[in-house]
Homo-oligomer: A and B are copies of this chain.
Amino acid sequence: MENNPNLKIIHPEAKVYEGSFIDAFTVIGRGVIIEQDAYISKGVKIYGKAIIKAGTYIGENCIIGHPQRDFLKNMVKNKEQMINHEGPLVTINKSCIIRAGTIIYSEVTIGDNCQTGHNALIREKTEIKNNTVIGTNSIIDGNVSIGNNVSIQTGAYIPLFSTIGNNVFLGPYSKLTNDKYMMRKRFDLIGPTIEDNVSLGANSVIFPGVKVRNGTIVGAGAIVTKDTKEREIIVGNPAKFLKKIPDSWK
C-alpha cells in the first residue's frame, strides 16, 4: 500500500539517502540528513541541522531538532517556518531506537545503540555516549553529560548541569536536583555528579552539587544531602550509611 506523497513535507534541501524509509504525516526540514536504513515513523518532525544515522528508528510523533528558547522567541517574532530553520546540529548515531513521542532538542549528540522509551525529553547541549537507555517519561533538562551503558529508568529526572558517568543505574523516578534555595536566595544552579557504577534507587533524590562516588548504592526513597563514599550503601531521609557493598557484588 502506497502512502499519498502529499502527506509528507520534505524540504528540497534535506538529504534523504536511498534505502531509508519515511512514513506519512512527516516533516523533514532544511539541513536534515537521513542515512540509509534509517526508519522515520508517522507524524515525526525533524528540523535541521540534524543527522539520523544508519539503522536508527524514530517512532511516531517524535520531534528531533526542537529549537532552543532564544531561537523559539525569534521564530515567533519573525513568523519563520520551522521547516526552514537550521539550528545547531543534533546527531542520532547508528542503530538507535527512539520511541514514539520522544523530543530531542538541537545541539544534542546521542551515541550508537542507544534507546529511549516513550515521551522522553532530551534538551540542548547534552551528550550521551553509547549503549545507554533513556526510559519512558525521563527528562534530561540540557547541559548534561552521560556516559556509556547507563540505564535511566522510567521517569528519572536529570536537571541542567548534571554529570553522569558510565555503567550507572538511575532507578524509576530517581531525581537529581540543582537548585538549593528554590528562589529564596541567590544561587547558581549546580547539578550533582554521579560517578561510574553508581545505582540510585527508585524515587531517591540527590541534592545540588553532591558527588555520588564510584559504586555507591542509594536506597529507594533516600534523600542524599551530601557527598557519598565509594562502594557504600546509603538509605533514609536524610540518607545515612547502612553497610559496605559486599565484595561479591559488582
Contact = CB atoms under 8 A, between A and B. Distances in A.
A116 B221 CA distance: 27
A188 to B, nearest CB: 16
Given A6-B4, A60-B63, A173-B173, A183 B157 contact: no
Contacts of A236: 237
- Chief secondary structure at chain A's binding surface: loop
14 contacts: A6-B7, A21-B79, A39-B75, A43-B45, A45-B60, A60-B63, A103-B118, A154-B157, A184-B199, A202-B205, A203-B223, A205-B221, A207-B220, A236-B237
Interface of A: 1, 3-4, 6-7, 9, 11-12, 19, 21, 23-25, 27, 37, 39, 41-43, 45, 55, 57, 60-61, 63, 66, 69, 72-73, 75-77, 79, 81-84, 97, 100-101, 103, 117-119, 121, 136-137, 139, 141, 151, 154-155, 157, 159, 167, 169, 171-173, 175, 177, 179, 181-185, 199-203, 205, 207, 217, 219-221, 223, 235-237, 245, 248-250
